[in-house]
Structures are given as C-alpha cells and as structure tokens.
C-alpha cells in the first residue's frame, strides 16, 4: 500500500514528507528529480517512475508535485485517485492548495494525512468525516482556540464513519434549506483545417450544492435521460433505480459534491457552437506573413457565446506580430511565441476578427508546423447536449426546500487546426 508521500515544489524542494509505514529516506526523490529534468515541462513528468526498491507515482497540481512512494504491487490508479483526494481535501480545508498555505497549516495537514491513511490503507477520505475529525482552520476558530485552549481535533467518533451513508453526517441543520444543481458541459473537439469536425465529445457534470436539514432523500429526473448512457456516479446514487427507471435517487452529502459525470460522444449529438475562419500564410521568401482569424457563432441555439478567448502557439520562426482586433484585446509574447486574444462576447451582426502581419525570421525557411488555435468560450443557460432536468423531489423530511438548476456550456479542449 502507500508508503510515503512527499510534496515537492517546482524548484525541487521537498517541503513536506509523511510516512505511513517505516520512514523512507527522501533520497528516493532523486529518481523523481532525474525524471523531472528529462521531461522539459512539469506536465510531462511520467506519472509512474520505477526506482530499484520503490515506485514513485506522482500528480502535478497547483505547481506542487504530490509524490507517493509504494513498495509492493499496488494498483496505480488507486494511488493516483488517492493523491487527487489529498489535493481536493487541502483545497477544501484551506481554500487554496499552495505551498505557502500548506506550510502555514503544516500541523493540520499532517493530522489530516494521518487520518486519511492507516498503514497505507485509506481510512477516512470523505471530507465530511475528515472535517469532523480535524476541524478546518478558520480565523475565528484559531482565535477562539488560542484564548480558550480548546483544540481543533474532534473527540467524538464521526457519525458517518460506519453508517451506510458514510458521505453524510448526522444532525445537519440549516435555517434556509436549499439545493442547487449546476449542469456544466465541456466540449472537447478537434476541428480540422477545412472546418470539419475530427472529433467532438461532451464531458458533462452535475455539481450540486445541497444544504438541507436532516436526512433528505432526493430524486432527480431528466426530460431526456437516454442521453446519458456513459455515466459515473457519486457513491450516494442508487444504481438499481437508475438502471430500472433512469431516475437519480440519493441521500445527498452535505455541501458541495459532484453528483454525476457523463460523457456524450455520439457525433450527431455534439453541436459545435462556434466556428473559426483562419488564413495564416508564411510566405517563403519575404519576411512577412499574413494572419487573419474570424470567430463566429454556429449552432449556438440562439444563446450568446461569451468569454471567448483565442490562444495559439506560433512557430519559432515568428519574431513578432502586428495585429488589429475588431474587438477585445490581444497580446503576443515574442519569447514564448504565445498569441492570445481576449475576444469577449460574439456579436453575430459584427463578427470579431483579428488580422495583421507576422514578421518572420529573415532568411529562415517556412516554419514546419502549423499553429493550432485553442478556443475558450462559455454559453450560459444552455447544455449543448440538450440534457434537461425534469424535476427534483424530496422525501424523508417535511420542510420545503428551495431548489435551483443552472446550465452552462464551456469549451474544454477545443482545438482548431490550421
């Protein structure tokens, strides 16, 4: 099982270590540093690194490497999922997960890590339970603790630990009972030169924020549940009900959680809400190239496309760009060759465009690679797959909760090849 955990910052300092079995010397991280050096970018460090006696599994989040050390055959996904959970927990506890914050809260971090694993076996990873065991620091509590000398360690066995609904604590009380659901869909797509779709898929999630008193039992039904044929549920969802009735039935965790994530890959269901017209030409002989892109809406179901940004990694041979946008602002970093254009809203009557010239290295040959255009955008009040929630019902409690549902479509990895 998981032996040890090292947290390493981007400059290569180990700033925290935790061992769940015997102590593993931090020199084991040297193998990690070697791999890090070989991979030019932090994102490219391989997630599994073998060393003579151990295996290092790492994830890179918030500019921190979380490196787990294992010694025997352990499912790597198990370790990686656990590391993700560590990151989420830190974020949950401290608001942000960063080196200074972890250092500031090192004792809490250490206590939390100790609760999360026992002898390398996961013990309590649900944030509900952890928060009952180790209270997250708040300014108020710190002050109170200093004055009264009380502790931030719970001395009662968390109720959720052993119940059949480990994700929910008992005795939850709210004056305003509310349940909000956000349906967020991200479109991942590759569009080729000619504008036709190479691949397109939707990664959707339903995130919930449920603040309800007691033990509410919720059901959520959809207008068109058939869309969801590839889904992953939060453990609270009763799978049998879904299989037979296509209804989500669950006792929700308290607070924020991801109820479900789904995947729509059938091409005909994935509408592409924007298009990009581009003409980028590097002329062989002269040292000037032409650059022009236009962004326009397409299949956006009458909703406004907003928050549009365009980024593109230009070839090395591009020295500078002199461009004029019809709207928004743009920057070009001549060192990293990164062009970014913050477009804002798309007005279908007056399509935003960015055009101008590129100055190329004199005498150098035409760049080999074509830049890929990366697109970000948002469409409020629309789930592009057409998914619609029908109704939300609550059983088991008497009060009337306030319910809300929001839809949003975003670009995920949306790439246009040129």
Please report, as residue ranges, which positions from 321 to 360 form the binding site for another protein (by CB under 8 A): none
Binding to another protein by residue 22, rule CB under 8 A? yes
The span of 231-239, 244-252, 273-281, 348-356 binding another protein (CB under 8 A) equals: 231-239
Binding flag, residue 161, another protein (CB under 8 A): yes
Question: Shortest distance, CB of residue 399 to another protein, whole angstroms?
Answer: 29
Cβ 108 to another protein shortest distance, Å: 7
Q: Mark 183-202 with x for binding to another protein (rule: CB under 8 A) and - for no binding.
A: -----x-x-x-----xx-x-
Residues 263-292 touching another protein, rule: CB under 8 A, are: 263, 265
Give whichever of 16 and 295 is closer to another protein, judged by the CB atom. 16
Residue 182 C-beta: closest distance to another protein, Å:
16
392 binds another protein (CB under 8 A): no
- Min dist CB 216 to another protein, Å, is 20
Specify the residue, 143 or 223, whose C-beta has the smaller distance to another protein.
Answer: 143
Using CB under 8 A, which residues numbered 79 to 118 contact another protein? 80-82, 84, 100, 103-111, 114, 118
* CA atoms of 65 and 10, how far apart (whole Å): 7
Backbone CA torsion sign across 327, 328, 333, 336: negative
Q: How far is the CB of 348 from another protein (least distance, A)?
A: 28
Window 23 to 82, contacts with another protein (CB under 8 A): 23, 26, 39, 43-44, 46-48, 50, 53-55, 57-59, 71-78, 80-82
Cβ atoms within 10 A of the Cβ of 141, count? 13
Would you give the distance in Å from CA 144 to the centre of its chain? 35
């Amino acid at each position: 099982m998981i032996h040890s955990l090292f947290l390493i910052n981007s400059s290569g300092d180990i700033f925290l270590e935790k061992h769940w079995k015997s102590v593993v010397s931090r020199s084991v991280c040297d193998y990690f540093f070697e791999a890090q050096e070989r991979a030019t970018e932090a994102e490219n460090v391989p997630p599994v690194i073998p060393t003579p006696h151990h295996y290092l599994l790492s994830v890179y989040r918030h500019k921190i490497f979380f490196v787990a050390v294992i010694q025997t055959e352990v499912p790597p996904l198990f370790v990686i999922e656990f590391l993700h959970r560590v990151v989420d927990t830190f974020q949950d506890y401290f608001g942000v997960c960063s080196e200074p914050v972890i250092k500031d809260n090192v004792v809490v971090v250490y206590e939390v890590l100790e609760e999360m694993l026992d002898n390398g076996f996961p013990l309590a990873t649900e944030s509900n339970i952890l928060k009952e065991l180790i209270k997250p620091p708040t300014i108020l509590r710190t002050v109170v603790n200093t004055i009264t000398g009380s502790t931030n360690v719970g001395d009662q066995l968390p109720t959720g630990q052993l119940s059949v609904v480990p994700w929910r604590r008992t005795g939850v009380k709210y004056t305003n009972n509310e349940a909000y659901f956000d349906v967020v869909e991200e479109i991942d797509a590759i569009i080729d030169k000619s504008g036709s779709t190479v691949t397109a898929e939707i990664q959707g999630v339903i995130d919930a924020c449920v603040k309800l008193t007691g033990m509410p039992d919720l059901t959520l039904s959809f207008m068109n549940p058939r869309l969801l044929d590839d889904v992953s549920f939060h453990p609270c969802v009763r799978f049998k009900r879904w299989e037979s009735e296509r209804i989500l039935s669950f006792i929700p965790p308290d607070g924020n959680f991801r109820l479900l994530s789904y995947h729509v890959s059938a091409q005909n269901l994935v509408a592409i809400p924007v298009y990009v017209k581009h003409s980028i030409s590097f002329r062989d002989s002269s040292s000037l190239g032409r650059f022009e892109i236009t962004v326009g809406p397409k299949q956006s179901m009458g909703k406004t496309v907003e928050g549009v940004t365009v980024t593109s990694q230009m070839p090395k041979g591009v020295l500078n760009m002199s461009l004029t946008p019809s709207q928004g602002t743009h920057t070009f970093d001549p060192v990293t060759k990164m062009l970014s254009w913050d477009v804002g809203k798309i007005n279908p009557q007056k399509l935003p465009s960015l055009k101008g010239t590129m100055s190329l290295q004199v005498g150098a040959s035409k760049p080999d690679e074509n830049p890929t255009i990366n697109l970000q955008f948002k469409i409020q009040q629309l789930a592009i797959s057409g998914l619609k929630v029908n109704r939300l019902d609550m059983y088991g409690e008497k009060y009337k909760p306030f319910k809300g549902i929001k839809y949003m479509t975003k670009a995920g990895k949306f790439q246009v090849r040129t």
